[in-house]
C-alpha cells in the first residue's frame, strides 16, 4: 500500500478506523473543526504531495455539514498537490433527488456531483445509490458497491425454510430482482401508492407469499413507514415471517418507534451510517472490510467489479 494515505472526516470516524484496521494502515492526520460562526476549517497535518488520497466521509445527517466538510477537505488536498483524491462516501446524501419528479424542483444529486468534481475529486466510491443512473451525473469514475454481498452471506446463514424476496415498491424491483437472482429465490412486489414525501400507503401484493419467509429489500430505511406497512400487508396475505434488508440506516423521525411496534421479525442494515439508537429488532452488518478491499484494489489497479461477479 505505498503512496496511499487514508483520511477521515468527522461524520463517522469509527467506520474510518475500522477500514484502516483492515488495510493495516493508520489513519493520516487531518484536523477538521469549525470557526466560531460555524464555517468549516480543515488543516492537513502531513505532506500529501504526490500521494493517492482516500477520504472516508458519508454525507449522512447533518447532511449539509458533512457534505461541505468533504468538499473543503477535497479542496485542501488538491491545493496540497495530492496525486489523486478518492472520496469514499458509504452513504451518498441527496441521491433521492435524481430527476424532475414534479414541476419546478431541483435535481440535487446532479448538483452534488458538480460540486464534488469542481472541488477536485478524481473518483467516487459509494454503496447502493438510490438510483444507479446517478453514476452518469459524474465525469469521473464512480464505483457503486452492492450491499447485497454482505446480506447474501447473512441470509444463507439464516437457512430460512421457505424464503422469497420482496420489493417494497415498483421502483425497487431491479434491486430486489438482482438480489433474488443472486440467491436463487423467487420475487414478489408490494404495490404502493405514495401520497406525499415520506408517507406511503401499501395497496396490495403482486405474487403469492402464503407460508413464505419474506425478505424485503431496499437501499435505505428512512422513516420506516414503507417497510412496516409492507410487513403488515405481507403477513395479512399469509407470510410466515418478514425480514427487512436496508443498506443505509437513515432512520429519521419516528423510525425506531415504528420498527419496534411493527410486525417485522428482523431488520438488517449495514454500518454505512452511524446508528445512534439500538433496537432488539435491528441487526447491523459491517461493510468496512468490503470498502477496505476496494481501496486496496484501486491502489493496486485491480478489478473492483470482480468482487460482485
User: Which are the catalytic amino acids?
Assistant: 192
Report the alpha-carbon distance of residue 202 to residue 228 in Å, rounded.
10
Cell of 213: 419467509
Report the alpha-carbon distance of residue 295 to residue 20 in Å, rounded.
10
What is the side-by-side order of every strand in the sheet holding 213-220? Answer: 199-206, 187-196, 163-167, 213-220, 241-248, 266-270, 282-285
Contact partners, residue 143, CB within 8 Å, separation at least 6: 123, 124, 125, 126, 294, 298, 304
Contact partners, residue 113, CB within 8 Å, separation at least 6: 134, 137, 138
For the chain, the straight-line distance linking the first and the last C-alpha, in angstroms and rounded, comes to 25
For residue 195, the cross-strand partners are none
Report the alpha-carbon distance of residue 122 to residue 87 in Å, rounded.
8
CA 124 vs. chain centroid, Å, equals: 13
Q: What are phi and psi of 306, to 5 degrees?
A: -65, -20
Amino acid at each position: 500500500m505505498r503512496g496511499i494515505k487514508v483520511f477521515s472526516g468527522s461524520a463517522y470516524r469509527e467506520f474510518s478506523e475500522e477500514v484502516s484496521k483492515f488495510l493495516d494502515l493508520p489513519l493520516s492526520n487531518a484536523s477538521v473543526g469549525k470557526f466560531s460562526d460555524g464555517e468549516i476549517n480543515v488543516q492537513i497535518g502531513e505532506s500529501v504531495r504526490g500521494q493517492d488520497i482516500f477520504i472516508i466521509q458519508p454525507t449522512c445527517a447533518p447532511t449539509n455539514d458533512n457534505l461541505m466538510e468533504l468538499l473543503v477537505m477535497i479542496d485542501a488536498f488538491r491545493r496540497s498537490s495530492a496525486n489523486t483524491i478518492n472520496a469514499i462516501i458509504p452513504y451518498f446524501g441527496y441521491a433521492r433527488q435524481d430527476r424532475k419528479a414534479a414541476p419546478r424542483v431541483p435535481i440535487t444529486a446532479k448538483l452534488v456531483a458538480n460540486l464534488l468534481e469542481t472541488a477536485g475529486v478524481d473518483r467516487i466510491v459509494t454503496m447502493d445509490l438510490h438510483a444507479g443512473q446517478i453514476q452518469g451525473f459524474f465525469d469521473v469514475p464512480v464505483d457503486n458497491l452492492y450491499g447485497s454481498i454482505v446480506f447474501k452471506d447473512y441470509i444463507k446463514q439464516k437457512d430460512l425454510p421457505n424464503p422469497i424476496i420482496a420489493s417494497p415498491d415498483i421502483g425497487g424491483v431491479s434491486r430486489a430482482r438482482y438480489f433474488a437472482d443472486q440467491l436463487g429465490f423467487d420475487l414478489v412486489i408490494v404495490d404502493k401508492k405514495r401520497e406525499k414525501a415520506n408517507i406511503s400507503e401499501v395497496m396490495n401484493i403482486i405474487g403469492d407469499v402464503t407460508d413464505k419467509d419474506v425478505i424485503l429489500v431496499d437501499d435505505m430505511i428512512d422513516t420506516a413507514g414503507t417497510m412496516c406497512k409492507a410487513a403488515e400487508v405481507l403477513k395479512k396475505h399469509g407470510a410466515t415471517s418478514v425480514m427487512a434488508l436496508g443498506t443505509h440506516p437513515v432512520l429519521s423521525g419516528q423510525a425506531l418507534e415504528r420498527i419496534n411496534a411493527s410486525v417485522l421479525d428482523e431488520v438488517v442494515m449495514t454500518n454505512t451510517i452511524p446508528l445512534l439508537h439500538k433496537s432488539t429488532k435491528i441487526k447491523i452488518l459491517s461493510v468496512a472490510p468490503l470498502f477496505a478491499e476496494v481501496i486496496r484494489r484501486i491502489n493496486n489497479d485491480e478489478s473492483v467489479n470482480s468482487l460482485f461477479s
